[in-house]
Amino acid sequence: MAVSDAARAAGFIEKKAELNVAAGAAPGGASLIGLTRDQLKDSLSAIGVPERELKMRVAQLWHWIYFRGAKNFAEMTNMGKELRAKLAAAYTLARPQVVSEQVSKDGTRKWLIRMPSTGPLDKGAEIECVYIPEVDRGTLCVSSQVGCTLTCSFCHTGTQRLVRNLTSAEIVAQLIVARDSIGDWPDATPPEGAFVPNDGGRFVSNIVFMGMGEPLYNIGDVIAAIDVMSDGEGLTLSRRRITVSTSGVVPQMERLGAQANTMLAISLHAVRDELRDELVPINRKYDIKQLLDACRAYPGLSNARRITFEYVMLKGVNDSDADARELVRLLKGIPAKINLIPFNPWPGSKYECSDWERIERFSEIVYRAGYASPVRTPRGRDILAACGQLKSETEKLRARARMMAEQGIGAEGVYALGDGE
Ligand code: SAH
Ligand code: SF4
């Protein structure tokens, strides 16, 4: 029996294949989902809305799309019938297609999302997006690119060729899809039995850019998407609860801090240049010293807004006591949190995850030096929703799931970052 059948039989996975949530969509027209205020303004202008009305109309659309989660223009009752008809004739509120949704027994959800085709030769880029609910927060892990141009040796996404950057609208659309699916709109309710936070806040309270891609290689669209996500009259996510993770694109870090004002996570993974050159090859361009200098200069850095340093635990590679002590020494003077990530193996990967005792010992050294050093708790093991494992082609995913189950390997990783204290 294939793993998915076995798991389903055991009641672990609810798989909804070929799910399409493009409710209310008229075929053909461009979707307004994910657009910025300026883009909405242009869209209204293009259908003849007079200049003097534009500001008000954008505000109305904004409220319906991003505050209420409207799926039809017909719902927008404070806009005239004529305008609604014009909008419906020219545009849609279609979401990207949800090809499949998998729900882990721990409540973690993973969606395979297909973006609309951009031309006759494009069948539509596929990306993955993961939702990790906890009692007091819900974290959405979003992708910024399809694939990645970088080739970190322990990362599965790095083996996939880059198809393209995602647009800001496609990045925002991941949040819209998640909210649709878990009923996170004012008049919606979560699906029967769904695990969502119960602290009275939003079901998606945190965003991490830790899916596919290097966000700082798509920084313009990432910043535009963050502006839409954090807008106080729409999706209202706090910038303190948005974390952008980078492998170390030093020249763009200042801009991210100054313009997006989000939390920063750095994929450090090694404390010596020789090893980091191999694990995170962008280190050959921007070495550890340059990277840490850029961290010290990150706008808004303070004890209340620390940088998270991610460190993947690779058996016999970067996990010695000496590595832990060097890590502490390197980060001296930088307000930091250290996140130890158990390595998530994938077929063909040449590393193993450090033994649990080794991770504990490493964590102990870091903790004694005064750093909180949470080890990411395994989440979504049964649906392969782990960092570094996201690779969108459905077939490959199935093959990997089968292989990993045969080898007794589980996926792990939780993305509980941002305003965590
Ligand atoms: N490109 C960005 C963000 C996406 S990767 C970056 O590299 O920071 C998100 C995190 O998952 C990074 O810290 C990355 O190093 C880590 N990661 C990648 N592959 C992994 C794996 N196989 N096991 C554990 N963590 C992994
Ligand atoms: Fe790209 Fe990040 Fe994976 Fe490196 S770890 S290959 S930067 S997605």
CA atoms of 328 and 415, how far apart (whole Å) = 22
Task: Name the average pLDDT for the chain.
Answer: 85
Closest C-alpha residue for ligand 1 atom 19: 388
Please tell me the distance between residue 401's alpha carbon and the centre of ligand 1 in angstroms.
19
- Return the pLDDT at 105: 85
CA dihedral of 214, 372, 241, 330, whole degrees rounded to 10: -40
Q: At what angle do helices 356-368 and 321-330 cross, to 10 degrees?
A: 30
Copy the structure tokens of residue 283: 């280190």
CA atoms of 106 and 374, how far apart (whole Å) = 19
Helix H or strand E segment including 61 = helix 54-62
Architecture label for domain 30-92? Orthogonal Bundle (1.10)
Please tell me the distance between residue 152's alpha carbon and the centre of ligand 2 in angstroms.
6
Pairing of strands 109-114, 336-342: unpaired
Burial environment of residue 2 by CB neighbours within 10 A (0 to 12, 13 to 18, 19 or more) = exposed
Ligand nearest to the CA of 404: 1
**Residue ranges, the chain, pLDDT below 50:** 1-27, 392-421
- Return the pLDDT at 386: 56
CA atoms of 165 and 142, how far apart (whole Å) = 13
Residue 190 DSSP one-character state: P
The answer to whether residue 357 is catalytic is: no
CA atoms of 389 and 210, how far apart (whole Å) = 11
- Return the pLDDT at 387: 52
Query: Which amino acid appears at position 84 of this protein?
Result: R
Query: Which amino acid appears at position 389 of this protein?
Result: Q
The answer to whether residue 129 is catalytic is: no
Domain with CATH 3.20.20.70 in the chain: 97-383
CA atoms of 218 and 97, how far apart (whole Å) = 22
Probe target for ligand 1 pocket from 142, 308, 310, 384, with the most ligand atoms within 8 Å of CB:
310
Burial environment of residue 233 by CB neighbours within 10 A (0 to 12, 13 to 18, 19 or more) = exposed
Please write the tens of the pLDDT for every residue from 174-183: 999 999 999 9
Cα distances from 82 to residues 27, 32, 68, 88, 340, in angstroms, run 20, 18, 21, 10, 56
- Phi, then psi, of 266 in degrees rounded to 5: -115, 130
Please write the tens of the pLDDT for every residue from 1-11: 333 333 333 33
- Return the pLDDT at 159: 83
Return the bridge partners of 242, or none.
207
97-383 folds as: TIM Barrel (3.20.20)
Helix H or strand E segment including 256 = none
- Return the pLDDT at 339: 93
Any atom of ligand 2 within 6 Å of the Cβ of 158? yes
Q: What is the pTM of this model?
A: 0.87
Probe target for ligand 2 pocket from 267, 311, 389, with the most ligand atoms within 8 Å of CB:
267
Alpha helices (runs of H) in 280-407, residue ranges in sequence order: 288-296, 321-330, 356-368, 394-406
Domain with CATH 1.10.150.530 in the chain: 30-92
Out of 128, 170, 310, 412, pick the active-site residue: 128
Please tell me the distance between residue 155's alpha carbon and the centre of ligand 1 in angstroms.
6
Copy the structure tokens of residue 10: 């055991």
Q: For residues 125 and 191, is the Cβ–Cβ distance under 8 A? A: no
Copy the structure tokens of residue 149: 């141009």
- Return the pLDDT at 406: 35
